[in-house]
Amino acid sequence: MSEEKLPKRSENFSEWYNQVILRAEMADYSPVRGCMVVRPYGWALWENIQKSLDARFKATGHVNAAFPLFIPMSFLEKEKEHVEGFSPELAVVTHGGGQQLEEPLVVRPTSETIIGHMYAKWIKSYRDLPVLINQWANVVRWEMRTRLFLRTLEFYWQEGHTAHATHAEAEEETLKILDLYTDFAINDAAIPVLPGQKTDKEKFAGALRSYTIEAMMGDTRALQSGTSHNLGQNFAKAFDIRYLDQTNQLQHCWTTSWGVSTRLIGAIIMTHGDDQGLLLPPKLAPIQVVIVPIYRNDEQRALVMPYVEQVRQQLSAFRVQVDDRQELTPGFKYNDWELRGVPLRLEIGSKDVEKHSVMAARRDIPGKEGKTILPMDNIATGVGDLLQTIQDALLERARVFRDANIHQPNDYLALQEVVQNGWAFSWWCGSRECEDKIQEETKATIRCVPLEQPGGEGQCVCCGKPASKKAYFARAY
């Protein structure tokens, strides 16, 4: 751990973000511009995110597979909007085995095209549908301005790709996944995301409709945290994905795609972190409980350590680490584990051994207020309850912060003001002109049009014309 003080989150959010990632050893810069190294602590968090999502995918009938990293350039060109959307961001392999390739290969920025090609080969009949495949993969987009976890040349994600017999089934899948992402974000990551539909301007290149979960970061900026796309028949027509229906007619499939990425790690950091560093939600934290033994001499140590070991064994259902580094003081260790965002710390000294208890310190409440004495009897229950309390408290705190920073301006002047430091939830007439104007003049984009609307009608916050829907406007990462 570095001796220098962490920049204050309230004073320099951006620098705080970078420093906390580097110092907590979540990730590091790599020698290749814009690529990151995800260090073991960061990867352990990603593995927990993966486990949590993968279980949800499998419970809803999805299976995993792996499609090639390389895609022929010609494949991307088959869907017009898709190639326009991704062309500027491509990494291209031109040489292999010492020879120039006849056709350059693109390093996948996303896999609709190559998966579409395979689906066309595999799908013959309505009996083959639906196809519900996901892959956990690395993808590459040649971004010019990069940020650790938020926007890197290479990143890690899952991409689901499904094929259905009807538009209705594809739409149902798209929304089912939107719900699944929302459930994960709220219940596991403690991020109170707002789900909704993307505007045509903001939708995925090649989609009929895109849905998104949008999160408010600690500086009030928005972060798109997961997307689910109804691709209509666009890719099915481009790649000839067809099936024989029950009346023996050849039909094009309806496809979807959906993904979340290591960006979620950035979302967790920027939602829950504070001036002390990270604060990880217990359900996903690589270390849920750190035990710091306290002793002044060998005699105390001989008393404390066997007790620590007992506690550790009682807590085998949790992810526990004992910090017995003898060259460091307890105070240094407290700071270190606070920086790393471990949600619960147990302090165990000789007095605790005598009293047959441990001192528990919550990461989310500093100082005495966050301390509780837990009796050794039933300590697993006590720890489990405290972790759940912390999980709930993180979500509640983020929800209060989010709601306090969402305003409902009715006129354009107020909107311009509000989005400098928060979100606007305002009526929008649905026109691209208003959307463009607001973005140009305020840098705020429409994050989403929520599916649940207040109802009724209003006047567009920009042009004043009649509007039937409200949208979230915010500056975004």
Interaction site with a second copy (CB under 8 A)? 28, 30-32, 35-40, 42-44, 46-47, 63-72, 75, 87-98, 104-105, 107, 114, 117-118, 121-122, 127, 133, 137-138, 140, 142-144, 153-154, 156, 327
Query: Residue 266 touches which of Zn ion, a second copy, none (CB < 5 to 8 A by kind)?
Result: none
Cα R_g (the chain), whole angstroms: 25
Query: Residue 434 touches which of Zn ion, a second copy, none (CB < 5 to 8 A by kind)?
Result: Zn ion
Report 321-340 residues binding Zn ion (CB under 5 A).
none
Per-residue contact track with Zn ion, 139 to 178, x per CB under 5 A?
Answer: ----------------------------------------
Tokens 């290749």: give the residue.
32
Shortest separation between residue 161's beta carbon and a second copy, angstroms:
12
Shortest separation between residue 128's beta carbon and a second copy, angstroms:
11
Question: Which distant-in-sequence residues (6+ apart) come within 8 Å of 53 by Cβ?
Answer: 158, 180, 184, 260
Instruction: Determine if 438 is a binding residue for Zn ion (CB under 5 A).
Output: no
Tokens representing 218 are 């600690």
Query: Residue 328 touches which of Zn ion, a second copy, none (CB < 5 to 8 A by kind)?
Result: none
Query: Residue 417 touches which of a second copy, Zn ion, none (CB < 5 to 8 A by kind)?
Result: none
Q: Are 62 and 133 in contact (CB under 8 A)?
A: yes
Shortest separation between residue 458's beta carbon and a second copy, angstroms:
42
Question: Which one, 18 or 431, has the nearer CB to Zn ion?
Answer: 431
Shortest separation between residue 322's beta carbon and a second copy, angstroms:
14
Out of 131, 185, 284, 434, the residue judged to bind Zn ion by CB under 5 A: 434
Strand order in the sheet with 423-428: 406-407, 423-428, 469-474, 445-448
Shortest separation between residue 153's beta carbon and a second copy, angstroms:
8
In terms of Cβ atoms closer than 10 Å to its own Cβ (0-12, 13-18, 19+), residue 135 is middle
Shortest separation between residue 458's beta carbon and Zn ion, angstroms:
11
Shortest separation between residue 154's beta carbon and a second copy, angstroms:
5
Question: Which one, 125 or 381, has the nearer CB to a second copy?
Answer: 125
Query: Residue 13 touches which of Zn ion, a second copy, none (CB < 5 to 8 A by kind)?
Result: none
Query: Residue 149 touches which of a second copy, Zn ion, none (CB < 5 to 8 A by kind)?
Result: none
Number of residues that bind Zn ion (CB under 5 A): 6
Instruction: Determine if 459 is a binding residue for Zn ion (CB under 5 A).
Output: no
In 10 A of CB 409, how many CB atoms? Answer: 19
Instruction: Determine if 429 is a binding residue for Zn ion (CB under 5 A).
Output: yes
Query: Which uninterrupted H or E stretch holds 138?
Result: strand 131-140
Question: Which distant-in-sequence residues (6+ apart) come within 8 Å of 149 by Cβ?
Answer: 21, 26, 27, 36, 42, 262, 263, 265, 266, 269
With H, G, I as helix, E, B as strand and everything else as coil, classify residue 157.
strand
Instruction: Determine if 320 is a binding residue for Zn ion (CB under 5 A).
Output: no
Query: Residue 88 touches which of Zn ion, a second copy, none (CB < 5 to 8 A by kind)?
Result: a second copy
Instruction: Determine if 449 is a binding residue for Zn ion (CB under 5 A).
Output: no
| Bridge-based pairing state of the strands 423-428 and 406-407 | parallel
| DSSP class per residue in 410-433 | -SHHHHHHHTTSSEEEEEE---HH
In 10 A of CB 126, how many CB atoms? Answer: 16
Distances (CA, A) of 182 to 76, 195, 211, 226, 227: 30, 7, 11, 9, 10
CA distance 124 to 117: 13
Shortest separation between residue 96's beta carbon and a second copy, angstroms:
4
Could you list the residues that contact Zn ion (CB under 5 A)? Answer: 429, 431, 434, 460, 462-463
